[in-house]
Amino acid sequence: MKSPVEVAVYYIASKKLDLSDLATNCKDIKGIIEVVFDDVMTITHMRSKVKGYGTVLFLYACEEAKKRNIELVELDDCSDRYRKPHNIYIKLGMNYIDDYGPEMIGCIRDILSGIQKSPEHAPIASLNPQNDAPCRSPSGRA
């Protein structure tokens, strides 16, 4: 039996927020990622105000997908570094699907194992555990 589709929002903020606060208290949010867990993990939105927090949230979502036995992550690269050097998604192990277009795909196992081998991509350890731990908003199921 197929698992239900699950929508999740993970964020880093100075305080825990309710779902309604995510839209209205943008100043409190240091980083946010919205994902859909289905046969693959699809990232629908990611934004970060603090260097490194986007990476933290991306990896946190990958860990959550791994717990659900999801093997692939997909996203459209709408970043400022689209197809440029130092692109966050390429650094994390994602690949463009075609020669043109923003669609990217990556293997969650490879992304997570690549991070474990690369100490410069270990930003989770540098978070303030009281104020900066990734939080999860209430989710919906389709």
Q: What is the pLDDT of residue 86?
A: 83
Domain positions in the chain are: 6-136
Q: What is the pLDDT of residue 140?
A: 45
Tens of pLDDT along 72-112? Answer: 999 998 888 888 888 888 989 999 999 889 999 999 999 99
Q: What is the pLDDT of residue 132?
A: 52
| Mean confidence (pLDDT) of the chain | 79
CATH of domain 6-136: 3.40.630.30
Long-range contacts of 36-40 (CB under 8 A, 24+ apart): 36/5, 36/6, 36/7, 37/3, 37/5, 37/6, 37/7, 37/8, 37/64, 37/65, 37/68, 37/70, 38/3, 38/5, 38/6, 38/70, 39/2, 39/70, 40/70, 40/71, 40/72, 40/73, 40/74
